[in-house]
A and B are shown apart, each in its own frame.
Chain A
Amino acid sequence: MENVLSILFCLTLLYIVVTSRLKTYVSILRTQGILLSAIMVFPFINHLSVHILIIPITSFIVKAVIIPRFINKIVIDLDVKRIVEPSIQPFNFLLLTVASMSVMFVSAHVLSGFTPIEPIPFASAFSAIIVGIYIIIFRKKLIVHVVGFMILENGIFLFGTSVAGEMPTIVELGAMLDVFVVVFLMGITINKIRSTFTQQDVSVLGRLKD
């Protein structure tokens, strides 16, 4: 079941690459949050307890509810144009992503031969990390960079659930809180950037250099 969910997770990545509407970005973030929480619950589906559910429920609240809402609110507040302004042709981007994903899946398959990893969640996680970085590189809007960062974080979370070894609850909660506050601070910063500069994309950030 985790494999199916991981594949679904990969599909959301492909979708985010071809779409150019900000709204879709946010709903994809929401979908990924739901998928991640489901992936966390599934191994324990037969012996559920409150203690096990703490992390998935928090992750659901943070990743599927609060952060997408917060980003949506910024988009509305900023009144930015609701498209993402790519600096690369969508088709080329798709090609690049598919190629990277294939490399990931093949190498995960090879790696699984001599180390105990689950190839499909592993490859999906690293595809998300790479797609997150691509979005940060190839998109101009700062708010889209935040979405890229969240996708990267989602990939790391998926990777974390696919490797054995549990972190203590307090550490996981701390990590979640940190990510949330980072996104929150980024949102505040974007708001400040709007009131200081006329635009909200990377072109305004060129004052500091040598």
Chain B
Amino acid sequence: MTELIILLGLPLIGIGANYLLRSRKAQFGISLLIAGLHLGVSFLIFSGVVHPADNEFIRFDALSRLFLLILSHVYFWVVLVSYSYLNRPTLVNEESGKRLYFMMLNLFLFANTMALISNHLGLFWVASETTTLSVAPLIYYYADEESLEAMWKYLFLVSVGIAFAFIGLLFLTLSASGTAIAGQQLLISTYTRYSVLLNPIWLKASFIFVLVGLSTKIGIAPMHPGDIDATSNAPSPIAALMSGSLRGTALIGVLRIYQIMVPTATAEFARTIMVIGGMFSLFVAFVFMFKVVNYKRMIAYSSVEHLGLITLGIGTGGIAFVGAMLHTVFNSLTKMVLFFNAGNIHRSYRSREVSSVWNVLNAMPWTGWLFLAGFFAIIAMPPFGIFFSELMIFQGLMSRPWLLAGVMFLLFFIFVGMSKTVFRMLYAAPPSDAVQAEIPAEKFDIMHFASIVLLAALVALGVGMPAQLYATVVQISKDFGIVL
């Protein structure tokens, strides 16, 4: 019970406290305390020290435990860097956005935790809709025309998407009619146990609707545009939060429906759809990597690429599934590094356009080198963790040479497109007619500290995989009927 109070109760208290407190320092202190406790409890649950009791609504299986740890970990770093982020000189007119910032972060933590550990699909739906509501005001942080448009599009597209996911859940209810579990609650545990009884046609329809609906949040093509606009216009800690954990929360919804389908004959159908979705996301990332002129959008498209890879890995099954699960962990770490440093660049150069950023390595050495390291991590350069998880996905694809060839081709050109942009930003000399304000000399700050720790963790996790992490991922694979 204590775990639940810390995981769900404390963020709720945090919402109230942050509403009442006016001092930003106090808001930050209380939010950081909650984030730290949340991370501690998630870690204890993940490592098996604490075994919370499951009940009708709440369940801590291996999948929830892994995603819960990802959420608290990303959230902790985001809160940690937020204070210095909020104290920066104002770029546009974000003063009004700062008041709600920590309150909405606490709501975000509450809703995401609820979504990840819920065993009732209806409850999952309510919680994931709440995550949208918590993140929408944060997207509007800068209070300019772009962020307003991004917020409207995100709010509207995702709300319509979530409505579609609800239709999917109703189809799931329909699939049970006439069976032993007809009229029962939409519990994941019940439906997984009796899944062979379910009507396959409604089950397939349910999967399609849930996948298409939640794709707006996961960012799988072709439903990705709202997500791209939102992540690229949100302040960088929020963008890191969205790329690192919010997409995972939506992904777990799709995984739950897939988990129900695994023992049935419809599983092959779900896998095919996920492979198509993953490939299409890679293709979209491939096309837009050459078109983007805005570096935050570039990182957002990189999220489309990596979530596509994860979906592809889940659809391929076998060792690729294991790779996909590890990839969610590593992707969340790398996206934080990239967005934190992109935020630093944005602050100094006051532009998100690639064309008005040059010579970052000399002007901002800390940020420049860390951004470069983050870029190497995201393109799966060894020894960073993503290298190992992508290798597992490729290994799983070995049995489908055409698919593997396609993936390799797309990934290579994504790498080319991305490096073209990144190296231009880092190395290019300023144009002769540049009217660029002096970039102030850079001091080592908390964002750099976070990036270094995260990159070190990325290497450590990849090279020396902790037994507990691997065991959890293997347990998830077992839950999804994968024999390794």
Contact = CB atoms under 8 A, between A and B. Distances in A.
Interface of A is mostly: helix
Interface in B278-297: 288, 291-294, 297
**Contact residues of B: prevailing secondary structure:** helix
A129 B166 CA distance: 12
Nearest to B226: A208
A163 B186 CA distance: 13
Interface string A155-195: 01001100111111001101100100110011001001100
B148 A164 contact: no
Nearest to B114: A174
Interface in B115-166: 120, 122-123, 125-126, 129-130, 132-133, 136-137, 140, 145-146, 148-153, 155-156, 159-160, 163, 166
Interface stretch (B170-178, B327-335, B392-400): B170-178
Interface in B161-198: 163, 166-167, 170, 173-174, 176-178, 182-186
A164 B141 CA distance: 43
A168 B155 contact: no
Most buried by A among B137, B149, B183: B149
A207 B163 contact: no
B199 interface: yes
A43 B22 CA distance: 50
B133 A197 contact: no
Contacts of B155: 182, 185-186, 189
A153 B125 CA distance: 14
Interface residues of A, number: 39
A142 B156 CA distance: 10
- Contact size range, B: 35 or more
Nearest to B150: A208
B348 to A, nearest CB: 23
Contacts of B297: 210
B202 interface: yes
Most interface-central of B159, B176, B177 (chain A CB within 10 A): B159
Contacts of A192: 140, 148
A167 B186 contact: yes
Q: Which of A153, A167, A196 has the most CB of B within 10 A?
A: A167
A67 B201 CA distance: 36
A164 B173 contact: yes
Given A149-B159, A164-B177, A165-B183, A182 B129 contact: yes
A205 interface: yes
Nearest to A136: B160
A205 to B, nearest CB: 5
Nearest to A160: B170
B178 A149 contact: no
B185 A168 contact: yes
Contacts of A153: 163
Given A165-B185, A192-B148, 7 more contacts: A149-B159, A156-B166, A156-B167, A163-B173, A171-B120, A178-B129, A186-B159
Interface of B: 120, 122-123, 125-126, 129-130, 132-133, 136-137, 140, 145-146, 148-153, 155-156, 159-160, 163, 166-167, 170, 173-174, 176-178, 182-186, 199, 201-202, 229, 232-233, 288, 291-294, 297
